[in-house]
């Protein structure tokens, strides 16, 4: 009975014992050696053994050491965690039987500056319309640097935001364009004030059937100046009548203010003749009805002239007494008296030359033809002149070209080149 009471007493003692403090010690009020040997407390009553005799029963819990310092953030920007740890070494559990209660690690968040975000491209847009309405052109597509947009100092997107592709539409019409102006042509006059022209062509390029023609004129004119034209002086006084009895001739002259350049010779004759009549003591001359001795025209059209050439009129329409020789071109006087000779000749524009009426090698009259104001090469000019002379039997009269003439004479239905002789009186 005493033994039972002792056990109850021990039980009371076990139930009332408290383990305190961090150090793992047996309860000073408990006789742990006795309870182990008598009651096998370490294995029979583990719960009470841990409270009363933890050291004897090797049931001490480990205790935590102090926390370590917080670790650094795991990233340099943005949100992350910091960590600290502790070890179950203050004290450690005996024989590593029981670890410390609680966590060995603690975490807390840390916040740095926002991380930079590098830009990213969006997908390409569809290609736009062609930038031309015909021919070869370009179409364009784009993309945006917004997938994502660069933030917090992040880099922009690398590459181009625009991409081009070729496009081909219907053939374009070709619009005409002018060539450069050609050089200026020659002046339309050889003396005084005239015009000169230049032209250009609409073929640089030539317009297509559906293209526009060149705008503007293809011909351009400007004023040009040459040396001052030669002019005649005033006519001189009339000479005395060439015959002191009956009919004769009076003459007057004028001078040409020409330079040595033959193109500046004055146009026309430097002499004029008029008939005159003086009273006679006796009737030595008999005025007769004027008689046409010959009228001849060219047979060649055109007739090429050479300097100093005799001009032969082979088409004899009137030839009284055959006084005009169509082979030599000379008229031989068979009736002495006062004669009037006339020449008309036609030359082409921009050609010059002069014609002489000659008697026995002496020039009776001279006429210059110089077309200086015609810009059209198809124009013609006809000139005429007359000469009066008293001729004796066998005198010969003919027409010749001047020493520097080199042109053409023309004769057709519209232009007569002719030579005629009329006996005025005997």
pLDDT profile of the chain (426 residues), mean per 10: 40 35 74 86 81 81 85 82 87 66 86 87 93 90 93 90 90 92 91 91 91 92 87 88 76 78 67 78 52 90 83 92 92 91 82 85 85 53 89 94 70 86 87
Beta bridge partners of 81: 109
Q: What is the pLDDT of residue 264?
A: 52
C-alpha angle 303-402-373 in degrees, rounded to nearest 5: 75
- Write the DSSP symbol of residue 262: G
For residues 60 and 77, the answer to whether their CB atoms sit within 8 Å is: no
Taking 3-state DSSP, the helix, strand and coil percentages for the chain, each rounded to the nearest 5, stand at 10, 35, 55
Q: What is the pLDDT of residue 379?
A: 61
pLDDT tens for 11-39 read 333 333 333 345 678 888 888 988 888 88
Q: What is the pLDDT of residue 45?
A: 82
- Write the DSSP symbol of residue 68: P
Q: What is the pLDDT of residue 244?
A: 72
Distances (CA, A) of 154 to 11, 116, 118, 239, 242: 75, 4, 4, 118, 123
Residue 36: name the closest of 62, 16, 10 by CA.
10
For residues 394 and 266, the answer to whether their CB atoms sit within 8 Å is: no
What does the alpha-carbon distance between residue 144 and residue 139 come to, in Å, rounded to a whole number?
17
- What phi, psi does 386 have (nearest 5°)? -130, 155
Q: What is the pLDDT of residue 345?
A: 86
Give the β-pairing of 162-168 and 136-142: antiparallel
Work out the angle between the directed axes of helices 2-16 and 32-39 (0-180°, nearest 10): 130
What does the alpha-carbon distance between residue 141 and residue 128 come to, in Å, rounded to a whole number?
6
For the chain, the first-to-last Cα distance in angstroms comes to 217
Q: What is the pLDDT of residue 21?
A: 41
């Amino acid at each position: 009975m005493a033994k039972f009471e002792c056990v109850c007493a021990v039980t009371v003692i076990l139930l009332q014992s408290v383990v305190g403090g961090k150090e793992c010690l047996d309860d000073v009020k408990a006789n742990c050696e006795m309870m182990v040997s008598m009651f096998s407390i370490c294995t029979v009553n583990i719960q009470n053994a841990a409270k009363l005799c933890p050291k004897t029963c090797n049931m001490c819990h480990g205790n935590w050491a102090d926390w370590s310092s917080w670790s650094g953030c795991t990233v340099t920007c943005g949100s992350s965690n910091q960590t600290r740890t502790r070890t179950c070494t203050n004290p450690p559990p005996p024989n590593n039987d029981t670890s410390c209660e609680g966590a060995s690690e603690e975490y807390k968040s840390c916040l740095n500056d926002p991380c930079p975000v590098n830009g990213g491209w969006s997908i390409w847009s569809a290609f736009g319309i062609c930038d031309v309405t015909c021919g070869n052109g370009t179409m364009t597509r784009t993309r945006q640097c917004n997938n994502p947009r660069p933030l917090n100092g992040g880099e922009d997107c690398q590459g181009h935001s625009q991409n081009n592709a070729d496009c081909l539409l219907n053939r374009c019409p070709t619009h005409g364009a002018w060539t450069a102006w050609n050089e200026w042509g020659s002046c339309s006059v050889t003396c005084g004030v005239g015009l000169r022209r230049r032209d250009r062509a609409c073929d640089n390029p030539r317009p297509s059937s559906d293209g526009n023609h060149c705008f503007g004129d293809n011909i351009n004119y400007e004023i040009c100046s040459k040396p001052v034209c030669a002019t005649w002086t005033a006519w001189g006084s009339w000479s005395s009548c060439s015959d002191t009895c009956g009919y004769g001739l009076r003459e007057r002259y004028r001078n040409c203010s020409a330079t040595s350049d033959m193109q500046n010779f004055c146009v026309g004759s430097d002499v004029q003749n008029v008939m005159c009549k003086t009273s006679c003591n006796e009737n030595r001359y008999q005025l007769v009805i004027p008689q046409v001795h010959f009228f001849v025209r060219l047979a060649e059209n055109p007739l090429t002239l050479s300097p100093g050439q005799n001009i032969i009129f082979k088409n004899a329409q009137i030839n009284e007494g055959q006084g005009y020789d169509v082979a030599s071109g000379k008229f031989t006087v068979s009736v002495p008296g006062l004669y009037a000779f006339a020449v008309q000749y036609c030359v082409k524009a921009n050609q010059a030359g002069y014609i002489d009426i000659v008697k026995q090698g002496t020039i009776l009259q001279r006429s210059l033809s110089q077309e200086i104001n015609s810009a059209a090469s198809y124009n013609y000019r006809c000139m005429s002149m007359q000469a009066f002379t008293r001729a004796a039997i066998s005198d010969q009269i003919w027409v010749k070209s001047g020493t520097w003439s080199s042109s053409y004479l023309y004769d057709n239905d519209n232009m007569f080149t002719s030579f005629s002789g009329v006996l005025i009186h005997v």
